[in-house]
Structure 1
Amino acid sequence: MTRLSSQMLAVLPADVIRPNYDRSQVKPGVVHLGIGAFHRAHQAVLFDDALNAGDLRWGITAASLRSPAVRNQMVPQDGHYTMLVRDGGSEQARIIGAVQDVIVAPRAPQALIAAMAAPDTHIVTLTITEKGYKLDPATGALIEDDAQLAADLLSLEQPQTAPGYIVAALARRKAAGLPPFTAISCDNLPHNGTRLRNAVLALARRHDAALAEWIAAEGAFPETMVDRIVPATTPDDIAALTMRLGVEDQAMVKTEPFIQWVIEDDFCGPRPDFGAGVQITAAVAPWEEAKLRLLNGAHSGIAYLGGLAAIDYVHDVLALPEARIFVETLWDEAETTLSPPAELDVAAYRRELMARFDNPTLRHRTHQIAIDGSQKLPQRLLATIAARIEAGQGIDALSLAVAAWIRWQVGHDDLGNLHVVDDPLAVPIAAMLGAAATTQDRVTAILAFDAVVPPALGANLLFRDTLVRWLTILETYGARAALETFRPN
């Protein structure tokens, strides 16, 4: 089958939206680290909007920090791919042309550094997941015994981490008399800009104190919040799109109509005149907190409880009335810990979230959301629990979500179906749970694991007792029974 490409755009069906700009005139103003489905359905679309509006400075040079899989999908297609926006029975196909090249960093580290150090590059964005920052979730310090980071601490000739590439590129820019770029984290981390800045400065100081001072004085690491649901693409999705387009698109993404990018007004160079979907603000933290504790916290609870109940998709979990009660109660608990901005109507936001979760055409898999739970729980659930405890409030729904995460670590659902626990801490967690004789012992082991649970929270008796109660029900009767047992406070 012929692949999607620049040449094939003219033969696509008339209802497919195409780029309206001359790609040969586009300059590569953005380098993106960690290209995956989320970037292709989110930031790349918004930069494509800027190109369509006539500002041709915002082409994207993308990089995979691991495998060549995405490069092999995109480069034969001249960087083009289809974004399918699905909402109920409707579907809109749009070709995105913003990505000009994809570099496989382990194969061409100097090419990536050169792209980041180029005069036309003004912004570097990142979607590398929580574990890609090489920061201890509890302390925020560099994880110096991480093999990749240890290599970057010794030399940045061939960086192995995202902070390593940023430091190497900024060093080259400084030497060439160029200003730094604005580095924008687009991962679901609290204070993600500050964390990225701290990681970069800590690594830079180990190599060149003057470089670190220059980055601190001249660079910019704005806080951001990103929001769009992007389920994983399946072979069936690609086959169906091939039938629709008449060409094969191996890099397609599917998503929902909703898109949001809130960015702190802290740039050290040019930025696009962003349109709909982007909000520049003085304070991102309230937006970020609401998204992490409402959308992401509920998503984690749905993923682990639904996955344990052998339910594949988010909308099918929420077809259970007891699951909807659980989610609404989790939101009731989380909402009391928020300080929402004046522009955010939390009640309306909750209604919108439930409608997004209910979208059956997205087919968002619970197993996809369950990945990397140890990296996600601190900001999605544990921080909310700590705030509730400090305020003398109950933590029943939030604790059920955490108990379901613990139960997920056994590697099988309630029907005995095996699943891979895809998590950087899966091995030590499995070892500590395997050595525990009782439910209480398992809870005690997890609460003492300060790589995930802050020590003060781990020592809290209310949290321990609530976890033991829920984990006992999950281990004895299963996730569906736990949901059926659940009652709002």
Structure 2
Amino acid sequence: MTRLSSATLAGLPADIVRPGYDRTAVRPGVVHLGIGAFNRAHQAVIFDDALTAGDLRWGVIAASLRSPGVRDQMMPQDCLYTMLVRDGSAEQARIIGVVSEVLVAPEDPAALVPALAAPDTHIVTLTVTEKGYKLDPATGALIEGDPQLAADLASLAAPQTAPGFLVAALAARRAAGLPPFTAISCDNLPHNGTRLRNAVLALAARHDPALADWIAAEGAFPETMVDRIVPATTDADIAALADRLGVEDQAMVKTEPFLQWVIEDKFCGPRPDFGAGVQVTAAVAPWEEAKLRLLNGAHSGIAYLGGLAGIDHVHEVLALPEARHFVESLWDEAQTTLSPPPELDVAAYRRELMARFDNPTLQHRTRQIAMDGSQKLPQRLLATIAARLSAGQGIDALSLAVAAWVRWQAGVDDRGEAHVVDDPLAAAIAARLADAPSTEARVDAILAFDAVVPADLAGNAAFRAALIRWLAILEADGARAALAQL
């Protein structure tokens, strides 16, 4: 079938929203690292809104730091793609035109550095997932044993990591007499701006201490919080959209109506006049904490418990009364650890989250959320548990979610069906568990794994007892039985 492109844009059905600006007049003011589905349904849409409002400085050059998959989807389509917003029976289709080029960094690292160092580049955004920062989840330090980071520590002639590309580009900007860009992490990391800044400064200092000093003095790494549910696109989604459009769109994304981007008011250069969905604020941490501990914490629990029970989608898990009770119980526990800003009504936020989880048209897969759990648990669940324990409070629902993650590492669900444990530490965790002959030994093996579990929790008797209790139930009777007991 003919692909979506600039040439086929005019022939789309009348109800399809098209770019409301001249794409040939757009200047690329943003470089994005990690162009996955989430970016295309979130940050890219915000910059597309800026273009639609008449500020043509905010086009996007995107880059994949891993594979050519998205480039091969987008470039034959002139980088156009459809965003489907689904809510119940309603569906709106909008063509996004903000991206002008997709680079593949491993194929040509030298092409990405000039794009980052270009005078028109004012903002660099990142969605490289937690593991893309090459930071130890527990300490925040560079993982110097990582082969890609080790290569960047040795030389930045052909960077391999996100921090490496930023340092190489900032060095080029400094040499050319240009100011630094604002680097905005859009990943679910606590204090993501500070972590990105620390990674960049640490790497820069190893190559040129004066460069590190310049970045520290002149650069900007605002904290952010991003929120939008973006399920993975399926072949059926692409086929259904092709029937609607009359052309094929291999880069389409599907999402919900809700969009939120909270950004710390810390920029070192121009920025768009951000519109709907964006809040620039002096303090992001309270927003970030609420999102990580409520939305993301619940999502992880739903993913592992639902996945173990053989349930494919979030809304299907929440069709079980015992699962809804679990989510509400987890939120009850997590809510006591929050310091919400005055603008955030936590009770209303919880109601809104449940409605978003219940949206059946999203088809949000539990196995998609279950990916990279070792990178996500510290901020989504373990930090909340530590706060509750330090206050002398219970951790029943929270510890059930962690125990479900431990059980997930076995690679088999409650029906005996195998699943892939998609996690950068999967092999290391599996090796530890393989030598553990009992439930208690498996819990102790996980607690001793300091790449995931911080020291203050590893030695906590109450946390250990809770994990042993729940893991024993999960192993003997399964996830649904554990939910029923909760």
Using the size of structure 1 for normalisation, the TM-score is 0.99
Report what 1:64 is aligned to.
64
1:245 correspondence with 2:237:
no
Aligned to 1:308: 308
SS at match of 1:319: coil
Q: Name 1:400's counterpart in structure 2.
A: 400
The answer to whether structure 1 residue 415 and structure 2 residue 415 are counterparts is yes
User: In the TM superposition, what is the alpha-carbon distance from 1:254 to its structure 2 partner?
Assistant: 0.1
Is it true that 1:177 corresponds to 2:163 in the alignment?
Answer: no
1:256 aligns with 256
- In structure 1, C-alpha distance between the alignment counterparts of 2:30 and 2:366, rounded to whole Å: 32
Aligned to 1:362: 362
Q: After superposition, what is the alpha-carbon deviation per residue over 1:67-113, rounded to whole angstroms, capped at 9, x for unaligned?
A: 10000000000010000000000000000000000000011111100
| Amino acid in structure 2 at the alignment position of 1:393 | Q
1:321 aligned partner: 321
Report SS of the residue matched to 2:226: strand
Counterpart Cα distance in 1 of 2:109 and 2:272: 27
Question: Structure 2: how far apart are the matches of 1:127 and 1:56?
Answer: 23
- In structure 2, how many angstroms separate the alpha carbons of the residues matched to 1:352 and 1:434? 41
Q: How does 1:95-110 map to 2 (within 5 A)?
A: 95-110=95-110
CA distance in 2, matches of 1:388, 1:16: 49
**How many residue pairs were aligned?**
486
Distance in 2 of aligned mates of 1:360 and 1:465: 37
**CA separation in 2, counterparts of 1:459 and 1:4?**
56
Q: How do residues 48-447 of structure 1 correspond to structure 2 at under 5 angstroms?
A: 48-447=48-447
Alpha-carbon distance between aligned partners in 2 of 1:438 and 1:169, rounded to the nearest angstrom = 51
Instruction: Give, in whole Å, the separation in 2 of the partners of 1:315 and 1:474.
Output: 22
> d(CA) in 1 for partners of 2:15 and 2:413?
43
Q: Which amino acid aligns with 2:275?
A: G
Task: Kindly provide the CA deviation profile for residues 390-440 of structure 1, in whole angstroms up to 9, marking residues without a partner as x.
Answer: 000000000000000000000011001111100000001001111101000
Deviations 1:426-463 (A, max 9, x none): 00100111110100000001001110000111100000
Aligned to 2:451: 451
SS of 2:187's equivalent? coil
Give 1:467's aligned residue. 467
Give, as a single letter, the amino acid of the residue that structure 1 aligns with 2:416. Answer: G
Partner Cα distance (2:189, 2:293) in 1? 11
Query: Which segments of 5 or more consecutive residues in structure 1 lack a partner in the other structure?
Result: none
Deviation at residue 301 of structure 1 after TM alignment: 0.1
Distance 2:460 2:66 in 1: 40
CA-based RMSD of the aligned residues comes to 0.3
Letter in 1 for 2:25: Q
| Structural mapping, 1:2-13, within 5 Å | 2-13=2-13
Question: SS of the counterpart of 1:254?
Answer: strand
Report the Cα offset of residue 293 of structure 1: 0.1
Which 4+ runs in 1 deviate beyond 3 A?
Answer: none
User: For residues 192-226 of structure 1, what are the alpha-carbon distances to aligned partners after superposition, in whole Å with 9 as ceiling and x for unaligned?
Assistant: 00000000000000000000000000000000000
Question: Which string of whole-angstrom CA distances, capped at 9 and with x for unpartnered residues, describes residues 7-40 of structure 1?
Answer: 1110001000000100000000000000000000
In the alignment, the residues of structure 1 paired with residue 305 and residue 248 of structure 2 have an alpha-carbon distance, to the nearest angstrom, of 36
Q: Percent identity?
A: 81
- Structure 1 distance, partners of 2:143, 2:24, is 42
Read off the aligned partner of 1:230 and give its amino acid letter: V
Q: After TM superposition, give the deviation of residue 171 of structure 1 in Å.
A: 0.2
Q: C-alpha offsets along residues 364-383 of structure 1, whole Å, 9 cap, x if unaligned?
A: 00000000000000000000
